[in-house]
Structure 1
Amino acid sequence: MRHPDAPAPGELLGAHYAECFGCGGDQPHGLHLEARAGEGVSVTAEFTVQPAHQGAPGLAHGGVLATAMDETLGSLGWLMHVIAVTGRLETDYVRPVPVGTTLHLSAYATARSGRKIYCSAIGRIGGPEGPVAARADGLFIEVKVEHFVDNGRAEEIEAVMADPDQVRRARAFEVNP
């Protein structure tokens, strides 16, 4: 279910962490994926394949495409006001994605059972109605913020917790313990 305080449809969700390879702006070779809230529990996102994202010459690396799907699926947590991590990701590659292509992604939650969130995504070339390049199904597991404190690098966790904007975003999830 969409949380009552979830961002409005069309609203940019922003990066959950500046150093994130998927959505962070501080990663020079990251995806810089931008996700927007959709209707219900859905999001849309875009990223443009750069030369640093190549696998075969001139084509996106499959792992980069899986990362884009994972990041888009993970953005669904903003709409449910939960912190969740990837438990399983299954990706189907339908067609190659050339460097320079903008991949249009959409994701939606399909079910929830306890801490488990089931979701699906699709990536299209050239526009929201373009040809399908990849599909993914994911299982995300809800965790508490302590998951990152206990398992992350202390100096980076401390830096994030010292950032008032990051603390504000983390506290937004505390309304739904």
Structure 2
Amino acid sequence: MSREVRRAAVGELGAALRDLVDAAVRTEVSLDELAAATDAARSLAARLRAETRGLHDVAAVDDPSTGERWYSPVYGPGNPVAPPMVATDSPDGRATGRVTLGKPHEGPPGLVHGGVVATMLDHVLARALRAAGRGGLTATLTVTYRRPVQLGVPLLATAEMGTTDGRRTTATARLVAEDDPTTTLAEAEGLFVALRPERAADVFAPTGRDVGAWTTRSGDD
């Protein structure tokens, strides 16, 4: 089976499970219906656990060399807790993410949880760097919340790479509603540090894979 065929199947399951998660956090059915749904969910979980990978194993649908994760909690098509964000990037160090968030990502009533906002901004920041060929892990992330972020509103997150100093690279990001792009809802500044090859080999050793998206070349400071 090709990776693309499996990705299509994983995406279909992810979409169905996201619908289930949304229904689960919005339902007001009777206790009997809740009990029946619980039994069905446990049965489905047992079915999916018939063949699983370990905590450190890389999924067959992933591409760790480019950083594409199909079970990412931000954009992964196969992850039922992901919105999922539709992300794009360009080699000049820019990235965008489009997403509409619902009840599963609610904080205060009717509003997106602040931690979810930070997670989305962190992702587009890192994606902008990777698009420009700069690997790295988040070292610091500073988020400024300007306005409440409403559920059910199409959102646009944009990021741009800043300065580079050896293994360290900065980037900035901004979140707006697509129908009101001049009003900033939240913004972020991030510092990312690329791992030296020998350090990356140690950090990612449990995966058994050469994970190049978070590393830098030998000899870089």
For residue 62 of structure 1, the aligned residue among 114, 120, 127 is 114
3-state DSSP of counterpart to 1:25: coil
Supply the distance in 2 between the matched residues of 1:176 and 1:128 (Cα, whole angstroms): 41
Q: Is the 8 A contact 2:106 2:112 kept in 1?
A: yes
Q: Would the alpha carbon gap of residues 28 and 144 (structure 1) be closer, same or farther in structure 2, given more than 3 Å must change?
A: farther
What TM-score do the two structures reach when normalised by structure 1? 0.73
For residue 93 of structure 2, the aligned residue among 41, 49, 57 is 41
Q: How does 1:55-134 map to 2 (within 5 A)?
A: 55-127=107-179, 129-134=181-186
Alignment size in residue pairs:
153
Runs of 4+ in 1 over 4 A off after TM superposition: 144-149, 170-177
What is the aligned partner in structure 2 of residue 16 from structure 1? Answer: 68
Structure label with greater radius of gyration: 2
Whichever residue aligns with residue 86 of structure 1, its letter is T
Q: Is the 8 A contact 1:119 1:138 kept in 2?
A: yes
Q: CA deviation at 1:73?
A: 0.2
Supply the distance in 1 between the matched residues of 2:102 and 2:200 (Cα, whole angstroms): 30
Whichever residue aligns with residue 73 of structure 1, its letter is L
Per-residue CA deviation, residues 45-76 of structure 1 (Å, 9 max, x unaligned), is 11211211000111100000000000000101
Q: CA deviation at 1:78?
A: 2.5
1:137 and 2:208 matched: no
Q: CA deviation at 1:136?
A: 0.4
Supply the distance in 2 between the matched residues of 1:86 and 1:173 (Cα, whole angstroms): 10
What is the aligned partner in structure 2 of residue 53 from structure 1? Answer: 105
Q: CA deviation at 1:15?
A: 6.7
Structure 1 unmatched runs, 5+: 1-13, 162-166
Q: Is the 8 A contact 1:105 1:128 kept in 2?
A: no
Per-residue CA deviation, residues 10-53 of structure 1 (Å, 9 max, x unaligned), is xxxx9721222122122101132222124722111112112110
Structure 2 unmatched runs, 5+: 1-65
Q: Percent identity?
A: 25
What is the aligned partner in structure 2 of residue 5 from structure 1? Answer: none
